[in-house]
Amino acid sequence: MDIWVDIINPSHALFFNSLLDDFNSDNFFITVRDRAETFGLVKSFGMKGIVIGRDYRAGFNKSLNMIWRTFQLYSTVRNFDYALSFENGMSVAVSKLRGEKSILLCDNDLKFFQGKNSFQYVENKIKSMAGFIIVPKACYNTFNDHIKEKDRVILYNGFKEDIYIANFHPDPDFKDKIPFNNFVVLRPEALGSFYVIEKQSLVPDLLKLFNRENINVIYLPREKEDFDYAKEFDVYVPKNPLNGLDLCYHADVVLTGSGTMAREAACLGKPSVSFFPGKKLLSVDRKLIEEKKMFHSRDPEEMTDYVLSNKAKNSESLDLLRSKNVKKEVVKIIDRIIHEN
């Protein structure tokens, strides 16, 4: 089988680097969107991919660019039997235009409840046209409610982060690459994403409090604008992409304005904080919060107190059995779809 994989975000690079290892008999062609550390991670993993298009933070430019990138992909991507992607309407659109099959993995059910954004509405409609949609059990009901053909929505027990955590081997030399022995990881909100309605970042307030408490910070900007938040503060911004799982594994606490790194830390058994902006959270995040594996807040003082109270609890013990079982389940689902349909 010839399978086209389009990687558009940094976490997707980790996801597919792990997942594709289990499909050695199939041929993969990889394209990458230029966004944050995405291509740097793809390259560091030794994955061969070509960069097509980039991302923008401003809403109008973002929308226009996604349309343009879809046409770039349509005219560039070679023939394929299946398109495989994560939360990627562009991949599904190209598959439809080409008359080919597609498999879409998703975990963001929040987008279904935000009808105010017309482009988000269209993107949801495009994604719903995927041949098969694979989702975590935590958000299965929402996806199932919005997809007419119920047999196209397939659930698995776990989280997308489990897929690549299953292959994680801590780098014993990782701390030689950073200036701290003890630190927290801080990643800003994804304010450029359509599903993020609020546009106010807490990062400046958090950095001010962390500096006051002498908390070492490894800061991971998403967009060019995010660098401005840290100009007045003493933080470490890596010059080259670092393995996010190593950061989570060695950090005292992981804090992110989106959900991915918080879920990565939570699945690794590490203290994690989501300061996602909005009254409603993704079902996968709510599930981890219910299980007391993740903390959510938009109060900088409360978050700082959480960091201070959890610094002493940091442990480097690691149990990957659950994540390995989740990965096996997802691999079986995809393998069955590709080779039986």
> Please, what are the domains in the chain?
2-167+322-340 (3.40.50.2000), 174-313 (3.40.50.2000)
Residue with tokens 């990965």: 327
pLDDT digits (tens, 9 = 90+) for 181-212: 999 999 999 776 655 556 689 999 999 999 99
Contact of 134 with 330, CB cutoff 8 Å: yes
What token pair was written down for 240? 């080259």
pTM of the model: 0.89
pLDDT digits (tens, 9 = 90+) for 21-76: 898 767 999 999 998 889 988 998 899 999 999 887 666 777 888 999 999 999 99
Of 264 and 122, the one with more pLDDT: 264
**Residue 134 half-sphere exposure, CB side, CA atoms within 13 Å?**
24
Assign 267 to helix, strand or coil.
Answer: helix
Amino acid at residue number 236:
Y
Name which of 112, 110, 141 is nearest 278 in CA terms.
Answer: 110
Confidence of residue 102 (pLDDT cuts 50, 70, 90): very high
* Cα 97 to Cα 94: distance, rounded to the nearest angstrom: 5
